[in-house]
Structure 1
Amino acid sequence: MLETQLFDAAKRVRLNAYVPYSNFPVACAIQSESGKIYLGVNVDNASYPETACAEANAIGAMISAGERQVKAVLVLGGHPGSGVLCTPCGGCRQRLGEFSQSDTPVYVCSDEGVQEVVTFGELLPRAFGPSNLEQK
């Protein structure tokens, strides 16, 4: 099952998050249109605005591999056992919008697994995206 594959991959990679300042590890697993899974973790920086989010890093991995379409997104945040649910921040919602459709599923997880499933359109209604820049 797709959500289990994404969850297992995110749970493994979250251990690699670099979070000495926020102390809040986040992992993101993205399935592209080809079916391949791309992973990212957050990477803190002493200059806080320079921190890289897990979603941005997963998107970067997907783009580096030559893919351009997100089929599904899973986000797992917080320390193991914390029970915390974490959705993408505003900036990452905009980043995801560049490569997602309004019906793209976004799985929100705790350590126990998927707790919520929302569409990207529910996460960022009326998103500004590439279609807004098309010349008529």
Structure 2
Amino acid sequence: MEYKELIKEALKYRENAYVPYSDFKVGAAVLMDDGKIYGGCNVENASYGATNCAERTAIFRAVAEGNKNLKAIAIVGDMATHTSPCGICRQVISEFANRDTDIILIKNENDYKVKKLEDILPGAFTKEDLAK
């Protein structure tokens, strides 16, 4: 699948990151099953625990707009490597993803890796585990 637009959006949102403490910019863009794209960046806070990652910012924006079915997510951090999402973001991704969701780890516009949820969070605890 072609993800050029999604990758460009993640790179764009990376530039909006608020990172006065770590200086580690992250951008993310999510493609929902209806074709809409939502972006986000990391937003740090002096209390650290109140910091929000780019992945969660993008996903929460989509959910706030009524979109809950994640088709793909593109993530870019340190552009010297393919930055992976943190553990909390992996869990949030798993809430809205399915087995076919692509997780795109971006180094730059032309260098990226496509993973699946099982690749980044094997044995995930999901809503299926809470079946009544």
TM beyond 0.5: yes
Q: Distance in 1 between matches of 2:85 and 2:122?
A: 14
Between the aligned partners of 1:127 and 1:84, the Cα distance in structure 2 is 25
Establish whether residue 116 from structure 1 lines up as the match of residue 113 from structure 2: yes
Equivalents in 2 of 1:13, 1:41: separation in Å?
5
Does 1:83 pair with 2:108? no
Whether the aligned pair in 2 keeps the contact of 1:103 and 1:121 (CA below 8 Å) is no
**Which residue type is aligned with residue 107 of structure 1?**
I
CA RMSD of superposed structures (Å): 1.2
CA shift for structure 1 position 112: 4.0
2:66 alignment partner in structure 1: 66
User: Contact 1:3–1:114 (CA<8 Å) still a contact in 2?
Assistant: no
1:129 matches 2:126: yes
Tell me the distance in 2 between the aligned counterparts of 1:114 and 1:100: 23
Aligned to 1:53: 53
| Cα distance change on mapping 1:44 and 1:94 into 2, 3 Å | same
Provide the rounded CA distance (Å) in 2 between the counterparts of 1:76 and 1:134.
34
Deviation at 1:115, TM superposition (A): 2.1
One-letter amino acid of the structure 2 residue matched with residue 39 of structure 1: G
Q: 1:6 maps to which residue? A: 6
Q: TM-score, normalised by structure 2?
A: 0.94
Q: What is residue 23 of structure 1 aligned with on the other side?
A: 23
Aligned-pair identity in percent equals 39
TM-score, normalization: structure 1?
0.92
| Correspondence 1:107 to 2:101 | no
Deviation string, structure 1 residues 32-90 (Cα, Å, up to 9, x no partner): 01010010100011111111000110011000110110000100102xxx423211100
The residue identity in structure 1 corresponding to 2:10 is A
Q: How many residues align?
A: 132
> What is the distance in 1 between the residues matched to 2:34 and 2:91?
22
Please give the alpha-carbon distance, in whole angstroms, between the structure 2 residues aligned to 1:115 and 1:121.
18
Residue 126 of structure 1 deviates from its aligned partner by 1.1
CA distance in 2, matches of 1:83, 1:107: 15
CA contact 1:17–1:43 (8 Å) conserved in 2: yes
